[in-house]
Amino acid sequence: MKEKILVIEDDEDILNLISYQLEAHQFIVRRAQSGQEGFEIAWNERPDLIILDIMLPDMDGFEVCKRLKRHDETTHIPVIMLTAKGEEIDRVLGFELGADDYVVKPFSPRELILRIKAILRRKQSLSEDQNLWQREGMVFNIEAHSLAIDGVAVPLTATEFNLLLAFVRNEGRVLTREILLDRVWGYNFEGYARTVDTHIRRLRKKLGAYGDWIQTVRGFGYKFETNTRSNK
């Protein structure tokens, strides 16, 4: 089955260029020229990947990405941010909001296609059994809302489950406290950062020898990284 790519770009020339390249590589293309239109298409059609321009006429790409990542129905859709801006602060903000990659205009169409294919391959490897996540002796059954550590069942509160789910679905990405508050608790108010820290300490304790997979990224937040074997 052909994969569907949604391109949200208000510049018609760039939109046509990207669409042509995608169709030449056998992708199904959906097009949008505003943030709201793009979000509605993403919500209704659930594309396999989204190419998202930052400078849009209604709401910018950062806001579109934030809304997509806020909902379970669309948070799994990979996003490549596309913009004329190249400042580091813009890249950092895009990644903090959950973007998977960042391409600066002018860009090479071939490079863009290669990045799209790399992300889709990674997504496919993660979704082969999307309800069961397992690394070493840690088994997280998303459908059954259960966690087992080295064969022993570990009870999770609803908040701990949602926190672990956010980490598993964003493995290797840095998630700020603000993003975790928004995705897990549904709010993002100043002064509530300690709420995240407290729950992460509890979750680390429950993960036992695998608790160090939740890494603190100073100045940003947390990252769930399983490349390094736990110290057992």
Running along the chain, 232 residues long, what does each successive block of 10 average in pLDDT?
92 94 95 96 95 91 89 82 70 71 83 84 56 87 87 85 89 86 68 76 92 91 75 42
Residue 84 pLDDT: 75
Q: What domains are there in the chain, each with its CATH number?
A: 4-127 (3.40.50.2300), 132-224 (1.10.10.10)
Q: Cα–Cα distance between 183 and 19 in angstroms, integer?
A: 32
What tens digit of pLDDT does each residue of 93-119 get? Answer: 776 677 877 888 888 888 899 888 877
C-alpha 90/C-alpha 203 separation (Å) is 31
pLDDT of residue 25: 94
Q: What is the largest CA-CA distance in the chain?
A: 57
**Prediction pTM value:** 0.60
SS3 label, residue 176? strand
Contacts of 107 (CB under 8 A, 6+ apart): 82
Which residues, 6 or more positions from 196, have their beta carbon under 8 angstroms from its beta carbon? 177, 180, 181, 184, 222
pLDDT at 227: 64
Terminal-to-terminal C-alpha distance of the chain: 43
Task: Name which of 76, 23, 22 is nearest 51 in CA terms.
Answer: 22
Partnered with residue 214 across adjacent β-strands are: 224
